[in-house]
Amino acid sequence: MNKSVQSADHSRKTKAWYYGHPSTGSRIFDICNVVFMVLLMVITVYPFLYVLFASLSEPLKLYSHQGILLAPLGFTTRGYTFVLNYRAVWNGYLVTLFLATVGTSLTLVSSLVFAYVLSKQDSMLHGFFTFMAVFTMYFNGGMIPTYLIVKELGLLDSLWSLILPGLISTYYVIILRTAIMSIPKEMVESAELDGANEIIILIRILIPLIVPTIAAIGLFIVVGYWNSWTNALLYIQDGEKQPLQMVLRQIVVNNDMSAAAGTGASNRSGEDSATRLLLKYATIIVSVVPVICVYPFLQKYFTKGVMIGAIKG
């Protein structure tokens, strides 16, 4: 008996020494892993820091600078002053906020209802609806037919043309359906025996149990609406209805900021070009700040939410 206790104690001491003194190969792996992660972080973060430093730099110094940028060249907030005084930027913000709030709400509600229908495997035409949903993931009408449909519906130059054509994403529907199907059927059956209808079951029972999945998908949808500009390029001609990313594209690609650049900018071509370059970087920072502010609050739902939707196929 004593030998058995001594053997167990020796085994525990050996394990404690092993885990407290990792092997040379394990140390090399840890070092390489840390170095790789640091390099990956630098590669990911540096472009944003470059734009931030450039937006705070003196225009002429920035215009003549080449290579990497590790700090602002001088310091000025003139770029942000010009951008915030540019009316098109504020109009773009309002349009994008409308799309992000109304579009995200409608997309989530439509996707949840559709996902709930697909989760009812014993419902009528379940196979047909599932096939039609999956079919749209691989085949679609294309840009020109979609444009013609939007035109015939009278949605051109309307903000609804930026929401309705892509209201439901099959990818999100399948994730939500899988999350709903992972909930024990006994809970739903118990609610049905108590007299709950489909709406009450969905709102009071299922949705509270898949909040992480809804939050993760909701953030994906918000970012999608916030970064979208291709639909606006196709369907929106009125400058007052263009979203923020479309305004940003005009500034960055077309140098279309003469109204803002002309307020306080020199007439000399070199300084004017330098000011325009500064405005591009300032506009980029202004456009991404809201998403960066929202991301930390929903980050905790990412892994949990997506995994819940992927447990069951």
CATH number, domain of 142, equals 1.10.3720.10
pLDDT of residue 302: 61
- Residue 254 has what pLDDT? 62
Domain count, the chain: 2
Surface-to-core class of residue 272, CB atoms within 10 Å of its CB (0-12 exposed, 13-18 middle, 19+ buried): middle
* In the predicted structure, residue 107 carries a pLDDT above the cut 90: yes
Is residue 228 assigned to a domain?
A: yes
Which residue is associated with the tokens 């109204």?
A: 259
Judge if 134 and 213 occupy the same domain.
yes
pLDDT for res 109: 92
> Given a cut of 80, is residue 169 above it in pLDDT?
yes
**Structural domain boundaries enclosing 39:** 2-55
Domain co-membership, 88 together with 137: yes
Average pLDDT over residues 17-21: 54
37 in any annotated domain: yes
Q: Is residue 275 part of a domain?
A: yes
Mean pLDDT of the 278-306 span: 73
In a domain, 72, yes or no: no
Same-domain check for residues 206 and 297: yes
- 117 domain-assigned: yes
Report which DSSP code applies to 153.
Answer: T
Whether residues 35 and 127 share a domain: the answer is no
51 with 129, same domain?
no
How far separated are the first and last CA of the chain, in Å rounded? 51
* Averaged pLDDT for residues 276-299: 78
Closest-CA residue to 91 (of 223, 218, 232): 232
Q: Name the pLDDT band for 15 (thresholds 50, 70, 90).
A: low
| pLDDT, mean over the chain | 78
Q: Residue 30 carries which DSSP code?
A: H
34 plus 98 within the same structural domain: no
How many angstroms separate the CA atoms of 69 and 56, rounded?
12
Q: Are residues 22 and 141 located together in one domain of the fold?
A: no
Q: Buried (b) or exposed (e) across 2-25, using 16+ Cβ within 10 A?
A: eeeeeeeeeeeeeeeeeeeeeeee
